[in-house]
Amino acid sequence: MTSLYAQRRARLAARLGAGGIAIIPTAPERPRNRDSDYPYRHDSYFYYLTGFAEPGACLVLDSEGRSTLFCLPKELEREIWDGYRLGPEAAVATLAVDAALPGTQLDAELPRLLENRRRVWFPFATHEGLAARVEGWLSAVRARARYGVLCPAEQADACLLLDEMRLVKDAHELDVMRRAADISARAHVRAMQRSSRMLRAGQDVREYHLDAELLAAFREEGSQFPAYSSIVAAGANACVLHYRADAAPVRAGELVLIDAGCELDGYASDITRTFPADGRFSGPQRALYELVLASQKAAIAATRAGARFNDPHDATVAVLAQGLLDLQLLDSNQVGSAQDVVDSRAYFPFYMHRTSHWLGMDVHDCGSYVEPGEASEASPRRDPLSGELIAHRPSRILRPGMVLTIEPGLYVRAAPGVPEAFHGIGIRIEDDAVVTEGGCELITRGVPVEADEIEALMR
């Protein structure tokens, strides 16, 4: 495993340019209140390069490939309270770095490491106060100029390099992501079954019962925490995009939207399913559900190496536009043809988010959505709804090993002209897709999406 991280460091070192040096800190611990901290989560860039999950650490890497790790020193008193620390002595062998020092020496050592380097890389706008600390270290280097020491003249954003590396997942990452996806899929199945089981037993089902089932399923299979706050939305709550699991009653005859995924060993999964609370879709619910599912199938068919990031979204919108007309959620006398609906974005009141985002260590993972070689080809377009001028750039060309979500939805709020049968229905179907040469691999289909299959597993 160590060699994996050493290989990644070597790849980064090769991109730093002659005389380059990179400073990559991990995340700080964050207080929740008084003596309690939020559960600790390492920084993703740092973990990508070290596999080291302790707080209080920082990696320094130069273009010759020499790595220095700063980490918490061994300290019996603190370890009695907070737990085991690897410590610098063991870190060299365990993490295969060239040198390791206690974090207390960071301010003393950094100026020395920066001496005579040409360019210093660090993640911009990611760690509060880091840029100011770098300035401090640089001024300490400059103070020694009279001794012939050269000070780096350039600062560069390490995210530019690391985002590109993280965007294409390696075999180890895909393996972890498949396992995270499997755990999350089983959790969704459990939550669906819990809902219908409790309703059949005549119990008072609340959103938090289903949230508890998800959390139990994640933890029982070794996931460290949810990759994001679970959304468990009963009935019309599903129309609130960032709703959280709360205490609303889960009622027979209504839909439940669950958007939840676990994080496993630093990697996220992200699944949404929408199901009837008691296991039986009504006619209007099924009609909308089948439309969202058809739009997802179109998006999946458009996802393959060589296609553009925007292609699945465009495929989704084309299907939704036609379906909104067919179901009379939109009136063709007012909005015209399906193509008109797409061009004018008349679908927007029902579908107001994008179909995909990158997925990886972070649920909304890093990586440019614009094809880097074409970033200068901006064509200004006026947004048909806001009237704002938007610089449209060619979207990313998909490559094998990129991972994205495919998550179309429809959210129908009560409004004049909208058929009442659809009021308060919110549906999203979200799967995680690994781009392959000829298409994509859906890693989250351990939980079904077909309406009949969902009804069957809830019986």
Which residues are marked as active site?
A: 35, 242, 259, 270, 353, 357, 364, 407, 411, 428, 430
Least Å distance between CB 293 and ligand GLY?
A: 17
Size of site (CB under 6 A) for ligand GLY: 7
Least Å distance between CB 405 and ligand GLY?
A: 6
The answer to the question of residue 431 lying near Mn ion (CB under 5 A) is no
Q: Which is nearer to ligand GLY, 278 or 407 (CB)?
A: 407
**What is the footprint of Mn ion within residues 260-299 (CB under 5 A)?**
270
The answer to the question of residue 432 lying near Mn ion (CB under 5 A) is no
Q: Which is nearer to Mn ion, 310 or 405 (CB)?
A: 405
Least Å distance between CB 406 and ligand GLY?
A: 11
Cα(427)–Cα(273) distance, integer angstroms: 8
Instruction: Tally Cβ neighbours within 10 Å of residue 10.
Output: 13
Binder of residue 208, out of ligand GLY, Mn ion, none (CB less than 5 to 8 A by kind): none
Output the six-digit token pair for 450. Answer: 């077909």
Q: From 431, 416, 282, select the one nearest 349 (Cα to Cα).
A: 416
Cα(164)–Cα(196) distance, integer angstroms: 44
Contact 117, 151 (CB under 8 A): no
The answer to the question of residue 228 lying near ligand GLY (CB under 6 A) is yes
Q: Which is nearer to Mn ion, 364 or 381 (CB)?
A: 364
Cα(213)–Cα(396) distance, integer angstroms: 37
Per-residue binding string, ligand GLY, 363-382, x by CB under 6 A, is: x-------------------
Contact 398, 304 (CB under 8 A): yes
Cα(85)–Cα(167) distance, integer angstroms: 31
Q: Which is nearer to Mn ion, 62 or 270 (CB)?
A: 270
Residue recorded with tokens 């365990």: 94
Rounded to the nearest 10 degrees, how much is the dihedral formed by the CA atoms of 405, 408, 414, 418? 170
- Please select the residue that binds Mn ion; options are 54, 259, 311, 432, rule is CB under 5 A: 259
Per-residue binding string, ligand GLY, 183-202, x by CB under 6 A, is: --------------------
Q: Which is nearer to ligand GLY, 166 or 273 (CB)?
A: 273
Contact 5, 103 (CB under 8 A): no
The answer to the question of residue 69 lying near ligand GLY (CB under 6 A) is no
For 293-375, where are the E strands, in sequence order? none
Cα(344)–Cα(242) distance, integer angstroms: 26
Residue 437 vs residues 82, 85, 295, 404, 441: alpha-carbon distances, Å: 47, 43, 22, 15, 10
Cα(171)–Cα(348) distance, integer angstroms: 38
**What is the footprint of ligand GLY within residues 267-286 (CB under 6 A)?**
270
Q: Which is nearer to ligand GLY, 254 or 259 (CB)?
A: 259
Burial state string for 271-297 with b = 16 or more CB within 10 A and e = fewer than 16: bbbbbbbbbbbeebbbbbbebbbbbbb
Contact 389, 295 (CB under 8 A): no
The answer to the question of residue 362 lying near Mn ion (CB under 5 A) is no
Cα four-point dihedral sign 223, 225, 226, 232: positive
Least Å distance between CB 202 and ligand GLY?
A: 32
Q: Which is nearer to ligand GLY, 62 or 430 (CB)?
A: 430
Query: Which residues, in sequence order, are bridge partners of residue 440?
Result: 435
Size of site (CB under 5 A) for Mn ion: 4
- Please select the residue that binds ligand GLY; options are 213, 407, 431, 432, rule is CB under 6 A: 407
Least Å distance between CB 228 and ligand GLY?
A: 5
> Which part of the chain contacts Mn ion (CB under 5 A), choosing from 116-124, 276-284, 307-315, 428-436?
428-436
Least Å distance between CB 229 and ligand GLY?
A: 8
Q: Which residues contact ligand GLY by CB under 6 A? A: 228, 259, 270, 357, 363, 407, 430
Q: Which residues contact Mn ion by CB under 5 A? A: 259, 270, 405, 430
